[in-house]
Structures are given as structure tokens and as C-alpha cells.
Amino acid sequence: MKKKECPSCAMNIEEEEKTCPICSYEFPRQAPWLQWVALLLVVVMLLAFLL
């Protein structure tokens, strides 16, 4: 299983955890569509730069 580090208490926890079981830090949730929008913006900016 993959692990991630809690930024609050520096404990390694399972990547699927939404909150840290040690300090109750809530990891921010990111919408999957947000990554696609960011990628699309990068592509558009690269195309504008090249043309």
C-alpha cells in the first residue's frame, strides 16, 4: 500500500485516508476535473506561445 505523510504531525499513513488518525488533520479534497482543466490550460498556453 502507498503511504503519504501528514503535513501536521509527519506520520506516514495510508494514501486512501481522508483524515489523519493521529492528529485528525483533514486532507484537502481535489476534484478530478480540476486536473483536466489545469492540463488543458497548459496546452492552450503552449500552443499560444508556439504560434
Q: What's the pLDDT at 29? A: 85
> Whole-angstrom Cα distance, residue 50 to residue 30?
31
Q: Is the pLDDT of residue 6 over 90?
A: yes
Q: Is the pLDDT of residue 12 over 90?
A: yes
CA distances to 9, 36, 39 from 3, in Å: 14, 24, 26
Q: What's the pLDDT at 22? A: 94
Q: What's the pLDDT at 51? A: 83
> Model-level pTM?
0.54
**What's the structural domain count of the chain?**
1
- Say which residue the cell 500500500 belongs to: 1
The residue range of the domain holding 30 is 3-50
Strand partners, 3: 14
Q: What's the pLDDT at 8? A: 95
Which grid coordinates belong to 25? 488533520
Q: What's the pLDDT at 31? A: 84
Which grid coordinates belong to 37? 482543466
Q: Is the pLDDT of residue 37 over 90?
A: yes
